[in-house]
């Protein structure tokens, strides 16, 4: 488990004589073992912020601390699941998971890599598909392999960039429930930062939501809904309906600001 602190974070791109501010004045704390969602309209900087947390892009100003230590690049304590499945097409499901572990897990050797890979593929329901190539798997199954690979490296922090965005609605619900189950069953509960544009997804999984408007944080919203959660039980929860209305209102206000005028009808 790890605590993440974002302090005065800003990111500016310079191309020739032009400057583009991608992020500015972001300050927030992500407590260890919690599920944290970043939500907002397309182009507001959600994925850019996650890239900074990954260590792929250094901030122009400010810093990100993990357990009090500034990040200087990618680290073994962090694993990433992207929207696209990012599997090696020439490797089987098990080989993809083993490859990920071999990069970071020095506590394993030989047959242990395969044993752990099989364990995590079993957890995501792919025991019968371990020897299949990605091209032989559905999109949802490929994303299960990506989740198994990320969890198998035993990270303290799991960074997820719209991991279910390219999946059909039915499979998306299944993977949301699977992710929550794996997270809840983990004795050393991981700190998860999850980017989405889906209000209902954010409310289902998160302990805290930050709503991003272009370049910065517009609002931080705690989600104190009882766990375990499922979509059916949430629909009858008054607090769920209140927070959902607040988030939808923030999206609506953001669209009005960008288009202009209160006469906009959504």
What pairs with residue 188 in β-bridges?
Answer: none
Task: Work out the average pLDDT over 4-27.
Answer: 92
SS3 162: coil
- Do strands 69-70 and 61-66 pair parallel, antiparallel, or not at all (unpaired)? antiparallel
Q: How many CA atoms lie within 13 A of 151 on its CB side?
A: 28
Enclosing H/E stretch for 47: helix 46-54
| Cβ atoms < 10 Å from Cβ of 224 | 8
- pLDDT at residue number 29: 95
* Widest pairwise Cα distance in the chain: 65
Q: Is the pLDDT of residue 97 over 60?
A: yes
Q: Are 197 and 172 in contact (CB under 8 A)?
A: no
- pLDDT at residue number 263: 40
Which of 34-38, 95-99, 156-160, 226-230 has the weakest average pLDDT? Answer: 226-230
* pLDDT tens readout for residues 101-140: 998 898 888 899 999 999 999 999 999 999 999 999 999 9
Instruction: Name the residue ranges covered by the structural domains of the chain.
Output: 30-50+69-259
Q: Is the pLDDT of residue 82 over 80?
A: yes
- DSSP one-letter string for 222-240: E----SS--HHHHHT-HHH
- pLDDT at residue number 14: 87
Helices 111-123 & 139-152 angle (0-180, nearest 10): 130
What pairs with residue 195 in β-bridges?
Answer: 38, 161
State the residue for tokens 């375990």: 228
Q: Is the pLDDT of residue 30 over 90?
A: yes
Enclosing H/E stretch for 185: helix 169-185
Residue range 30-50+69-259, CATH number? 3.40.50.300
Q: Are 210 and 28 in contact (CB under 8 A)?
A: yes
The torsion angles phi and psi of 30, rounded to 5 degrees, stand at -115, 110
The DSSP output letter for 189 is: P
Q: Are 167 and 143 in contact (CB under 8 A)?
A: yes
What pairs with residue 213 in β-bridges?
Answer: 216
**Confidence tier at 32 by pLDDT (50, 70, 90):** very high
By CB atoms closer than 10 A (0-12, 13-18, 19+), residue 26 is: buried
Residue 251's contacts (CB-CB under 8 Å, 6 or more residues apart) are: 41, 199
* pLDDT tens readout for residues 220-266: 999 999 998 888 888 889 999 999 999 999 987 755 455 444 443 33
Q: What is the pTM of this model?
A: 0.90
Task: Work out the average pLDDT over 7-13.
Answer: 95
- pLDDT at residue number 257: 52
């Amino acid at each position: 488990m790890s605590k993440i602190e974002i302090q005065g974070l800003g990111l500016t791109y310079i191309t020739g004589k032009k400057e583009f501010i991608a992020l500015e004045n972001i300050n927030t704390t992500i407590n260890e073992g919690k599920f944290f969602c970043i939500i907002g309209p397309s182009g507001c900087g959600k994925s850019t912020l996650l890239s900074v947390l990954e260590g792929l892009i250094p901030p122009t100003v400010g810093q990100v601390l993990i357990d009090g230590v500034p990040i200087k690049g990618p680290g073994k304590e962090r694993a990433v699941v992207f929207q696209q499945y990012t599997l090696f097409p020439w490797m089987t499901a098990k080989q993809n998971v083993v490859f990920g572990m071999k990069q970071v897990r020095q506590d394993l050797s030989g047959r242990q890599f395969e044993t752990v890979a099989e364990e995590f593929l079993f957890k995501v329901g792919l025991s019968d598909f371990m020897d299949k190539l990605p091209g032989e798997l559905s999109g949802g199954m490929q994303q299960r392999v990506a989740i198994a690979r990320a969890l198998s490296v035993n990270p303290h922090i799991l960074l997820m960039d719209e991991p279910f965005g390219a999946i059909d609605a039915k499979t998306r619900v299944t993977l949301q429930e699977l992710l929550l189950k794996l997270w809840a069953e983990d004795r050393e509960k991981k700190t998860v930062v999850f980017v989405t544009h889906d209000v209902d997804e954010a409310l289902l999984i998160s302990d805290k939501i930050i709503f991003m408007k272009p370049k910065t944080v517009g609002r931080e919203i705690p989600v104190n809904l009882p766990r375990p959660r499922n979509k059916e039980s949430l629909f009858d929860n008054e607090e769920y309906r209140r927070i959902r209305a607040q988030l939808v209102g923030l999206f609506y206000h953001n669209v009005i600001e960008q288009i202009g005028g209160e006469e906009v009808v959504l």
